[in-house]
């Protein structure tokens, strides 16, 4: 079984997709983490030959951690600076082509919940279940702000809101595989739902 969950930044996709996968006893794949890991790598390279760098790159998931060329980068890729850079970097067609192939390969022979921006529209077009998870931008910014506040007391809500709006714009307006709700995807608006309610709603549709 293939389940695709797409949606904008801060919609709670990762937490929800992970919980859905866990309840169904199947594999969870966070494709945003893959774009983040590649961005981290490219930012640290002087070489501008993306194709060559991509060919030499190894991305692996082990339990809840993501490894880039053998190194655990799970925390590093979550930094705000990387979030903004990834949104820019993910426009690059070479990077997309490389990661889409890798994602299809991962999902080939296993049951998965795969989460991202183009899963239902590009990566797993034939997924049995497709969901488009969203929430009001202010609600998403507030959730993100509360998360970031745990690590950084200096952060301002307005900055988080503006960053999120910028990422929404980038993700929905890029030429290659923009974030869209496909006709066959079920819209889930979590603005007024908590985690448990959202997960249950998705599981009801699947069952
Ligand atoms: O889901 P996330 O916030 O971790 O994703 C980080 C960035 O990666 C996001 O701004 C857009 C990009 N992305 C993408 O273009 N396609 C995907 N399937 C997943 C993420």
Shortest-distance atom of ligand 1 to CA 9: 3
What distance in Å separates the CA atoms of residue 155 and residue 17, rounded to the nearest whole number?
A: 27
What pLDDT, on a 0 to 100 scale, did the predictor assign at position 46?
A: 75
- Of 28, 116, 160, the one to substitute when testing ligand 1's pocket (max ligand atoms within 8 A of C-beta) is 116
Tell me the whole-structure pTM to 2 decimals: 0.93
161-207: per-residue pLDDT in tens? 999 999 899 889 989 899 999 999 999 999 999 999 999 999 999 99
Q: In this structure, which residue's CA is closest to atom 3 in ligand 1?
A: 9
Q: Is 96 in the pocket of ligand 1 (CB under 6 A)?
A: no
**Tokens representing 103?**
């994602």
- The CATH number of 30-110, from 3.30.390.30, 3.40.50.280, 3.40.50.300, 3.40.1280.10, is 3.40.50.300
76-130: per-residue pLDDT in tens? 998 888 988 998 899 999 999 999 999 999 999 999 999 999 999 999 999 999 9
Nearest to 170 by CA among 54, 62, 84: 84
What distance in Å separates the CA atoms of residue 144 and residue 177, rounded to the nearest whole number?
A: 24
What pLDDT, on a 0 to 100 scale, did the predictor assign at position 161?
A: 95
Q: In the sheet where 65-68 sits, what is the strand order? A: 59-62, 65-68, 71-72
Class of domain 1-26+112-207 (CATH, top level):
alpha beta
- Between the CA of 117 and the centroid of ligand 1 the distance, in Å, is 6
């Amino acid at each position: 079984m293939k389940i695709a969950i797409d949606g904008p930044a801060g919609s709670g996709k990762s937490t929800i997709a992970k919980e859905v996968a866990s309840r169904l006893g199947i594999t969870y794949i966070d494709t945003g983490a893959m774009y983040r890991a590649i961005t981290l790598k490219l930012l640290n390279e002087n070489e501008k030959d993306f194709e060559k760098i991509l060919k030499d790159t190894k991305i692996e998931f082990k339990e809840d951690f993501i490894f880039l060329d053998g190194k655990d980068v799970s925390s590093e890729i979550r930094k705000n600076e990387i979030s903004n850079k990834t949104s820019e970097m993910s426009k690059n067609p070479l990077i997309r082509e490389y990661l889409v192939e890798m994602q299809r390969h991962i999902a080939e022979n296993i049951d998965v919940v795969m989460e991202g921006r183009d899963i239902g529209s590009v990566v797993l077009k034939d997924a049995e279940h497709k969901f488009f998870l969203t929430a009001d931008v202010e609600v998403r910014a507030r959730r993100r702000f509360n998360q970031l506040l745990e690590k950084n007391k200096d952060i301002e809500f307005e900055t988080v809101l503006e960053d999120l709006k910028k990422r929404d714009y980038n993700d929905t307006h890029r030429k290659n595989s923009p974030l869209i709700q496909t006709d066959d995807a079920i819209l889930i608006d979590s603005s007024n739902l908590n985690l448990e309610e959202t997960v249950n709603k998705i599981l009801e549709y699947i069952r």
